[in-house]
Amino acid sequence: MNSTITIGPEALPALAELLYRPAVSRVFVLADNHTARHCLPLLEPQLPADYCLIEIPDGEEYKTLATCDKVWCQLTEQRADRHAVLVNLGGGVITDLGGFSAALYKRGIRFVHVPTTLLAQVDASVGGKTGIDFQGYKNQLGVFQEAAAVFIEPRFLDTLDPRQLKAGYAEVLKHWLIADADAFNTQRRLGWLNQDWAPIIQESIALKQRIVEQDPLEAGPRKLLNFGHTVGHALESYLLNQPGREILHGEAVAAGIVCESWLSVQRGLLEAEELEKIETFVMSIYERVPFILIETQTIAELALQDKKNRGKTINCTLLNGIGNGVFNQVVTVAEIAESLHYYHRL
């Protein structure tokens, strides 16, 4: 069942209406250091007076079982029962980890998302995926579990620096490239700055929902949403284990978009002119992710852990022209390494 999604100024009052229902025994808010400081004051007027804050450190490096353990300990210490609601206030790390923690606590309590980053608003909070990183691999553990509801207030984006906004924009760009050529061609002429984010968020969510409804458990068409992520996750996972070199998820996806577009050209699916349009737009927004050529083989081998794989076969989503993603395209470690070489030369 799809989550109810409310977007705009009415989102937080709608959340309050849900939380004050008699069926809700207690409200818990999961936030990180950043969202507790900058976003909780906007949310707090909508919360019951006896809500309990669970605060965790900010960053992908804390998206782990150890952090889940802390969340479960606090829920247990506060005697949270199966009628409690966990409000996940934050970006993709919070929505992924919070959803995962709620889905497992007492075999599942209700959770809602209040995404505060562009990436979470257009992607991570929608679609029912939860997960945490494990042994250095991105989203290695997780379950499919829909939030009871998602409440999207674009005003939270005012708390973000440009780097975080750009990271979220990579997921919007991904949606256009797999399913909306007209939007991509329009936006690449307009640029990404000074956007009215509300309609972009709404359109991006609607596109993702259309795909998810066809395939909730990612057996087929939902794999389209992984465009840019086979190479992107490998790159992100590698740098996550290199102290001081960590990058944001959206930055890794942007790099993955270029690499997987190049792979699409090698397969004869995408025209060279289309690749040029994609990489020109991407590189006008994002700095090249720094790595050295000697690392490409190691990075490429991390794709062997990708969740779309079957056995030792790496299944990738590529582009059969801009606006037309195709999934289950078999690629090799050597081809991924070549795509990273290509990206490195840009």
Domain ranges of the chain: 4-159, 162-345
Given the DSSP bridges, would you call strands 52-56 and 85-90 parallel, antiparallel or unpaired?
unpaired
Distance CA 102, CA 300 (A): 33
> In sequence order, what are the residues at sequence separation of 6 or more whose Cβ sits closer than 8 angstroms to the Cβ of residue 281?
173, 188
Distance CA 113, CA 15 (A): 10
CATH of 162-345 given 1.10.3720.10, 3.60.15.10, 1.20.1090.10, 3.40.50.720: 1.20.1090.10
Q: What does the pLDDT read at residue 215?
A: 92
Q: What does the pLDDT read at residue 191?
A: 77
Q: What does the pLDDT read at residue 194?
A: 63
Is 301 buried (19+), middle (13-18) or exposed (0-12) by CB count in 10 A?
middle
Q: What does the pLDDT read at residue 309?
A: 85
232-268 tens-digit pLDDT? 999 999 999 899 999 999 999 999 999 999 999 999 9
Q: What does the pLDDT read at residue 34?
A: 96
> In sequence order, what are the residues at sequence separation of 6 or more whose Cβ sits closer than 8 angstroms to the Cβ of residue 266?
335, 338
Distance CA 309, CA 97 (A): 23
Spell out the per-residue pLDDT of the chain, length 346, in tens: 578 999 999 999 999 999 999 999 999 999 999 999 999 999 999 999 999 999 999 999 999 999 999 999 999 999 999 999 999 999 999 999 999 999 999 999 999 999 999 999 999 999 999 999 999 899 999 999 999 999 999 999 999 999 999 999 999 999 999 999 999 999 888 877 767 899 999 999 999 999 999 999 999 999 999 999 999 999 999 999 899 999 999 999 999 999 999 999 999 999 999 999 999 999 999 999 999 999 999 999 999 998 888 888 999 999 999 999 999 999 999 999 999 999 999 9
How many other CB atoms are found less than 10 A from the CB of residue 151? Answer: 28
Q: Angle, to 10 degrees, between the axis of helix 249-266 and the axis of helix 162-179? A: 30
Q: What angle do CA 168, 170, 175 make, to 5 degrees?
A: 110
Give me the torsion for CA of 126, 52, 24, 21, rounded to 10°: -90
pTM of the model: 0.93
Rounded to 5 degrees, φ, ψ at 316 are -120, 150
Q: What angle do CA 183, 186, 189 make, to 5 degrees?
A: 145
Give the CATH fold of the 4-159 domain: Rossmann fold (3.40.50)
How many other CB atoms are found less than 10 A from the CB of residue 344? Answer: 17
> In sequence order, what are the residues at sequence separation of 6 or more whose Cβ sits closer than 8 angstroms to the Cβ of residue 300?
234, 333, 334, 336, 337, 340
Distance CA 306, CA 315 (A): 8
Longest dimension (CA), the chain: 60
Tokens found for residue 276: 């040029």
Q: What does the pLDDT read at residue 1?
A: 56
Single out the residue of 120, 160, 83, 103 nearest to residue 250, CA to CA. 120
Q: What does the pLDDT read at residue 222?
A: 95
Q: What does the pLDDT read at residue 195?
A: 73
Single out the residue of 123, 120, 109, 53 nearest to residue 81, CA to CA. 109
